Structure 1
Amino acid sequence: MHIPRKSAVIVGVLLLLAIAAWALTRPAKTKLAASTAIPVRVVSVSEQDIPRFVSGIGSVLSLHSVIIRPQIDGILTQLLVKEGQLVKAGDLLATIDDRSIRASLDQARAQLGESQAQLQVAQVNLKRYKELSVDDGVSKQTYDQQQALVNQLKATAQGNQAAIDSAQVQLSYTQIRSPVTGRVGIRTVDEGNFLRMSDTQGLFSVTQIDPIAVEFSLPQQMLPTLQGLIAAQHPADVNAYMGANTDGQTGDLLGEGRLSLIDNQISATTGTIRAKAEFSNTAQKLWPGQLVTIKIQTALDKNALVVPPTVVQRGLDSHFVYRVNGDKVDIVPVQVVYQDSDLNIVKGVQAGDVLVSDGQSRLKAGAQVEVLKQPPQVIQTANAQVQP
């Protein structure tokens, strides 16, 4: 049968188009089949002993801080310490003019001597009158009068002794001694100034630096935990840090102390409970009035199953993770025991299980995955510490 030339050309063109379409579509199908595996990053569940911490903001307080004030009126004659100097309890800090008080003390002593001499004579006469009264050598009235004179002179001597004691106390006030061991603050008066007991400003302060305390507040829900820590055989460790970094991590460690007390009431306004920790401060890194971040270890989870926070996904009713099983993933429900910005403690998986840490948005149960060999930039569970 003879086929027209025009029809033959059309058939040839269609055949070529069919062959070209087949050649183009076959690689595309192969490429599509290869791309069904979803790339993910993974991490293994680790088993560690993880300490739990609670943190808060605290204020550094001196255990003893005293404002040095005069206890008598007088001229400040000497300042024996410098600003910022470390002093011990009992050290002489300053002196006040004592000439008037010494004169009063000398006068009181002289009056005591006079009273004692008169008393001695009166007692000798009383003894003689007593012997004469036996034979009616003196009347009973004379004897009784002598006895009264002796009692009067005794009272006068006691009064003179009290005046001496008072003058000695006043004299001791002219020497101002440090009541505590600490550091001298900035002084407000100079030598030669007239001091009054009514002055509220004082000369300067002496503040104890070592040991030192930090007072802080925690939510009232922490009260049972704090009570347990206080009642423990060994007081809980408390660390103080220099504020907090922008990434939420603690700053430089300033001191390591011990929890010492809990306040006797909860603040009804803020719902917080105040507590105090005591620190050894030999290096003097902690300073009164300084704001610090404190961390208290409240518990230790032994053999805890730890994963990075990016592993745990939130479902409608519970948490779950994607566990790699061969080249596919399973959905495993988990219970989050504890979580923070660094790691999560979970139950429902086993140590060594391989879990998806990145790329979960495209996953579903039974999805085929391709594990990327390059490790994620930041997935570290070893040596991590729980921080609230």
Structure 2
Amino acid sequence: MSSQAPHSTLLIPGPIEFDDAVLQSMSHYAESHVGPAFVKTFGETLTLLRKLFQTTNPGSQPFAISGSGTLGWDIVASNLIERDEDALVLHTGYFGDSFASCLETYGVCATQLKAPIGERPSLAEIEQALKQKQYKIITITHVDTSTGVLSDVKAVAELVRRVSPETLVVVDGVCSVGAEEIAFDAWDLDVVLTASQKAIGCPPGLSILMMSERAINRFKSRKTPPGSYYASLANWLPIMQNYEANKPSYFATPSTQLIRALHTTLSQITSKPLAERFAIHAQVSDKVKAAVAELGLTQLATKPENQAHAMTAIRLPEGMAAADILPGLGKRGVIFAGGLHKEIATKYIRFGHMGVSVTDPGRDDIDKAIEALKQAFAEAKQAKGL
């Protein structure tokens, strides 16, 4: 039995439900951020991140910094590319626009390669774009939280290494890390950025990155200083290196309780083979998507290869809006999210299925949500006369 207060089950695409032990670790007593106990915990946490991202390269560096996933964009935009240089942004939804906007804030020339809603740019289109100019970075939203579209990071990285090997491969993994496979070394990636509150299963407040030696060297060879103070690798790189080496260090005070919680959830995740974790997310995703199809509903991502395993974006029938069904779910103790894509925000809902709601066999979150969806949809259809 959970020790948490009774509450509606949160099944949005992040924040997610949290394990009791993770929440309990947030109640750790106050401690010095440079004291030996915390330094040891932080150092172990960074080492556990290497396991999560599947890297053993000593030249790569994990980061865990107070901030949201959005801070990861700033770190990339202010450190790994300079003003007037070119970035190619692969657009699969709302967050492609946002990453491009962040890059442009720092004076970067961001070219978006856009796909229709529910689609992703083809490899042929990406290859053609890469041959048109020299891009310093390419950004890939692994799972766009607005559309539920899954990108093929491995295939794109292979293409970039063949066509434009000097281009840094940057992956926005905010809605994928911990649920979708990411093999940092094997796929030859340069940056994967994420946040604590999604499939990793830690409360919001940490921006998490893994950065390759190639990316770090790109930063070190900059012609101009970084465009941000808080996001500067000049400030954060030695901090992370020191903590991982079990040495106290200071630039800005870390979120000590959140680091404790991250240590707890990463210890849980890495105690079992990651392949098992990815497989159970895929199995539950198939179950959810089959239930959606049984209701006669479709997804924004219509092709199976484009469909994420940590969330499902469900298109509603003509004449029904998100506001017609979300309250029905809520009164049944289940919380889904409304649409986020600007063009069709009212026309779909989003079901997040990741983390302990999927991996803990003692929970019935997914079955409860599917049943609630069936009932709320039937109720909404009747009310709308559909």
Higher relative contact order (CA 8 A, sep 6+): 1
Q: Which has the larger radius of gyration?
A: 1
Task: Say whether the fold is shared (TM-score over 0.5).
Answer: no
TM-score normalised by the chain length of structure 1 = 0.21
Larger strand fraction of residues: 1
TM-score, normalised with respect to structure 2: 0.21
Structure whose residues are more often helix by fraction: 2
